[in-house]
Amino acid sequence: MSNFLNGGLARSFSPETLAVVGRDFDGLFDQFFGSPRGRDGDTTRADGSVRALRVPTHVWEKDDRLHVSVDMPGVTKEAISLTFENGTLVVEAERKAPDLGDHKTWHNSLHYGLYKQKIAVGDSYAPETIEATFVDGVLHIQIAKRPEVQPRKVEIK
């Protein structure tokens, strides 16, 4: 039980009550901003279509390389696909929900399902230089700029 002071009087709330309040708040939030998941973390909509996960992604350029970091907790390296086609880097992954059997969920803010991100990098980067690592649930991708688009020092004669 959790105790909260209300005008000097302690009030007790059971975990079940807090779970209901949490679910109600999550539902209200999802109504306004949309939800990448359905009931109990399910990513399938009522019409059968699949909701895509939104995961934190950081894209930056440093020196002669483009860097991309994608947070993917709970995803295995084998569940990730990385492709480069027509100047676009495509990252796809799936986080599968664990099979918990018959149980009662009090609260679930974890997200499961498909993830797909397209990052247009254009012709300035060389696809043959792509390197990717996956450490501690973070996918890190690096792509070098093509030599012909890199700044070069011009000798004055």
Question: How does pLDDT run across 60-111, given as a tens digit for each residue?
Answer: 999 889 999 999 988 999 999 999 988 899 999 998 888 899 999 898 888 8
Strand-by-strand arrangement of the 131-135 sheet: 57-62, 65-71, 138-144, 131-135
pLDDT of 3 strictly over 50: no
Residue 129: phi and psi, rounded to 5, are -100, 5
Round the average pLDDT of the chain to a whole number and report it: 76
Residues 21 and 63 in one domain: no
Query: Residue 41's pLDDT is what?
Result: 46
Residues 72 and 141 in one domain: yes
Strand-by-strand arrangement of the 80-85 sheet: 80-85, 88-95, 113-120
pLDDT band at 112 (very low <50, low <70, confident <90, very high): confident
Residue 41 belongs to some domain of the structure? no
The arithmetic mean of pLDDT across residues 3-29, rounded, is 50
Residue 106's identity, in one-letter code, is W
Residue 157 belongs to some domain of the structure? no
Domain housing 142? 57-98+107-147
Residue 155 belongs to some domain of the structure? no
**Are the beta carbons of 91 and 119 closer than 8 angstroms?**
yes
Residue 20 belongs to some domain of the structure? yes
User: What's the predicted TM-score (pTM) here?
Assistant: 0.64
Residues 22 and 87 in one domain: no
